[in-house]
A and B are shown apart, each in its own frame.
Chain A
């Protein structure tokens, strides 16, 4: 009876960890849960009671922290193998639902890549629609930039210079967004656990 209650307690914990493993494949989730189960069973050393399981689970950490640590490390490890634009973007997307920091990183990346794509788009479109792509001053303090079907009335400021300007700004912003993504993901991995950190044994 006590053994059943202990196993039920363990399974409840593992189900809670599973809920915090969003972003991992089913095979990865199975691997994580199997290993945690084995760890707890090893730790209780044959004395499977609700109390020993509770002690083992407390040492592992909360399901939320354990889940997050697993997802962040695995996503970061995949990103380190593929540091391309797509590799970093895929990692950012996988971490978006994990925490507030992950969601913030996703928003910043989305904005950064969006702005970069807009600048690059302007540079690419200029030769095809020269009269519709540009930077206009429509009032003393009002500017309008982009590819517009009905260009604003006003002075066009950049002319053909918009091509190199768009390319440089687009590539620079895209590069910085990519670097920022890598930096943040590595920082999320390095971040000390809020629960007991690596500490000298007492």
Chain B
């Protein structure tokens, strides 16, 4: 019974964490493009290396397409040395403005939450 309850709680926690991370994924993807253009796999590797985010690879392209549709990124096919063309993404001016705004909102939210969560640190209850 207790095992079942624990499993259900962990499942709920997992779903919540997935939603939380998914909410921040748009910002994270835009942020990877801040320093220059990247193709999909480069973005995934940067997300994992810099932010510890392991994103299901099949989901990055639909998300990039939405960001492109919203005018935040632009893309171009480039013939690469690898022997096949690569689709590179870069931030538009609108995307640069948006990622700054999103970063500000995220930092404000995180600071507020950290203050709220501070009493939990080291409290055994």
Distance in angstroms from A12 CB to nearest chain B CB is 16
Q: Does A37 contact B (CB under 8 A)?
A: yes
B62: contacting residue among A41, A69, A80, A190, CB under 8 A: A69
> Which B residues contact A (CB, under 8 angstroms)?
14-15, 17-19, 21-22, 25, 39-41, 48, 52-59, 61-63, 65-66, 69-70, 77, 82-87
- A192 to B19 alpha-carbon distance, docked (Å): 7
**Nearest neighbor of B54 in chain A, beta-carbon distance:** A201
Residues of chain A contacted by B85 (CB below 8 angstroms): 34, 38
**A198–B53 touching, CB < 8 Å:** yes
**A197–B82 touching, CB < 8 Å:** no
- A46 to B86 alpha-carbon distance, docked (Å): 14
Q: Does A125 contact B (CB under 8 A)?
A: no
**B84–A200 touching, CB < 8 Å:** no
**A61–B82 touching, CB < 8 Å:** no
B53: contacting residue among A35, A66, A190, A201, CB under 8 A: A201
Residues of chain A contacted by B53 (CB below 8 angstroms): 198-201
User: For chain A residues 51-104, which have a beta carbon within 8 Å of chain B?
Assistant: 59-61, 65-66, 69-70, 72-74, 76-78, 80-81
Interface residues contributed by chain A, number (CB under 8 Å): 38
Residues of chain A contacted by B56 (CB below 8 angstroms): 59-61, 193, 195-198
Distance in angstroms from B15 CB to nearest chain A CB is 6
Interface residues of chain A: helix, strand, loop or mixed (majority): helix
- A59 to B77 alpha-carbon distance, docked (Å): 23
Q: Does A9 contact B (CB under 8 A)?
A: no
Question: Interface digits, A30-57 against B, CB 8 Å rule (1 contact, 0 not)?
Answer: 0010111111011100100000000000
**B52–A197 touching, CB < 8 Å:** no
**A38–B25 touching, CB < 8 Å:** no
**Nearest neighbor of A28 in chain B, beta-carbon distance:** B65
- A46 to B63 alpha-carbon distance, docked (Å): 27
Distance in angstroms from A46 CB to nearest chain B CB is 8
Residues of chain B contacted by A198 (CB below 8 angstroms): 18, 21-22, 25, 53-56, 59
Q: Does A202 contact B (CB under 8 A)?
A: yes
Apart from A74-B62, A199-B18, 17 more pairs, CB < 8 Å: A34-B87, A35-B40, A38-B39, A38-B40, A38-B87, A42-B39, A60-B56, A78-B69, A192-B18, A192-B19, A193-B59, A198-B25, A198-B53, A198-B56, A199-B53, A199-B54, A200-B53
